[in-house]
Amino acid sequence: MPRRSARLRKLGFLTIGLFDPDRPALGHESTLKIIELGERLGFDSAWLRHRHLQFGISSPIAVMAAASQRTTRIELGTAVTPLGWENPLRLAEDLATVDILSGGRINPGVSVGTPMQWDRVKDALYPDTADAEDFGYQRVDRLLGLVAGEPASDWSGTVGIEQFSDRVQPHSAGLRSRMWYGAASLGSAQWAGEARMNLLVSSVVKAEESEDFDAIQLSHILRFRAHHPDGENARVSQGLVVIPTDSASDEQIAKYRAYAEGRSARTTEPQGPARMMFAADIVGTSEEIVEALYANAAFREVDEVAFALPFSFEHEDYVQILTDMATTLGPALGWESTAF
């Protein structure tokens, strides 16, 4: 079995936060309780997916704000926020505010591209400017500059009794260093490195030079580090769906295996015109998962992970999966819990 040169340093998890549209409060509360559990178990980070016009978390920044008041240590991230739906100035204000509220614990992950279902939503999203909007890297550059404290206005001063700043307020020092990019291609991985961001290696990638998912992820990591000023020390977090079964019931194991089997077809070859490749779900005991991960060349290049929770399971399933990750799988990978 291949071996790593370094132990797993940071263990995180990712959730989509599904909810029943007739009872949305229950789903959001479940997500908050899962984050609280993650902190008790010692996880280093909890990440939220971003879903618009679906029955998942549409406002992860608001959820992070709530979670920041119910936790004290765990870091909170987005994986990822699609910037096509956002105004960089307003987003910078929200991110800085939540970072201040959390005591400097948020890790915003972003991506670019035309919003999903563009033709169906553009009139509601940008009724007057849809044809003029730029959905490329320039949008990230604007966000990064505003987060870093670059001018948002050409003036600061006082009008009457009101004082105005020329940069986003509040300013959260250190937030710029915790900005992540979710890359799905070699070009985006290179751009993220040149932009001095951290890299979220996606579980959905473009089949450009290979149709081997592991090889594709590895190429993104190597390209990113080759173009990042920090080189080998540039931060990379790998995302995979990992489902440990150590303490699962027979019924849970059957459900988990059926879930993975139902998604397996999309992992065997590129999908659609964009030739997207999906990571295979890893289901098994922690011992089996460790073996699978150590055989993964991309995993051997990282010391941070954000294991994705399956989309459609019950709250008690997530409790079991997270507990096994923190108490069995993580330690088997060399991770040391910071639970207090």
Q: What is the pLDDT of residues 295-320, one digit of tens each?
A: 999 999 999 999 999 989 999 999 99
The confidence score (pLDDT) of residue 338 equals 76
Q: Where are the beta strands (DSSP E) in 154-301?
A: 157-159, 162-164, 180-183, 198-201, 204-206, 236-238, 242-244, 276-278, 282-284
The confidence score (pLDDT) of residue 2 equals 43
The confidence score (pLDDT) of residue 202 equals 85
Q: What is the maximal distance between C-alpha atoms in the chain?
A: 71
Helix (H) or strand (E) holding 120: helix 118-125
2 domain-assigned? no
Strands lying side by side in the sheet with 106-107 = 81-82, 109-111, 180-183, 198-201, 236-238, 304-308, 10-15, 45-48, 75-78, 106-107
Q: How far apart are CA 305 and CA 291, in angstroms?
A: 16
Q: Which domain covers residue 42, as residue numbers? A: 10-151+166-332
109 domain-assigned? yes
User: What total of structural domains would you count in the chain?
Assistant: 1
Q: Where are the beta strands (DSSP E) in 138-197?
A: 157-159, 162-164, 180-183
Q: Residue 14 corresponds to which tokens in the numbers above?
A: 């990712």
Q: Please check whether residue 170 is in contact with residue 96, taking contact to mean a CB–CB distance below 8 angstroms.
A: yes
156 domain-assigned? no
53 domain-assigned? yes
Residue-level pLDDT, tens digit, the chain, 340 residues: 345 557 899 999 999 999 999 999 999 999 999 999 999 999 999 999 999 999 999 999 999 999 999 999 999 999 999 999 999 999 999 999 999 999 999 999 999 999 999 999 999 999 999 999 999 999 999 999 999 999 999 999 999 999 999 999 999 999 999 999 999 999 999 999 999 999 999 889 999 989 999 999 999 999 999 999 999 999 999 999 999 999 999 999 999 999 999 999 999 999 999 999 999 999 999 999 999 999 999 999 999 999 999 989 999 999 999 999 999 999 999 999 877 5
The confidence score (pLDDT) of residue 1 equals 37
CATH of the domain at 172: 3.20.20.30
Burial state string for 122-151 with b = 16 or more CB within 10 A and e = fewer than 16:
beebbeeeeeeeeeebebbebbbbbbbbee
Q: Residue 8 corresponds to which tokens in the numbers above?
A: 């797993």
Q: How far apart are CA 147 and CA 130, in angstroms?
A: 25
Q: Which residue has the tokens 């990282």?
A: 302
281 domain-assigned? yes
304 domain-assigned? yes
Quote the DSSP letter at residue 328. Answer: I
52 domain-assigned? yes
Q: How far apart are CA 245 and CA 256, in angstroms?
A: 9
The confidence score (pLDDT) of residue 70 equals 98
Q: How far apart are CA 286 and CA 120, in angstroms?
A: 43
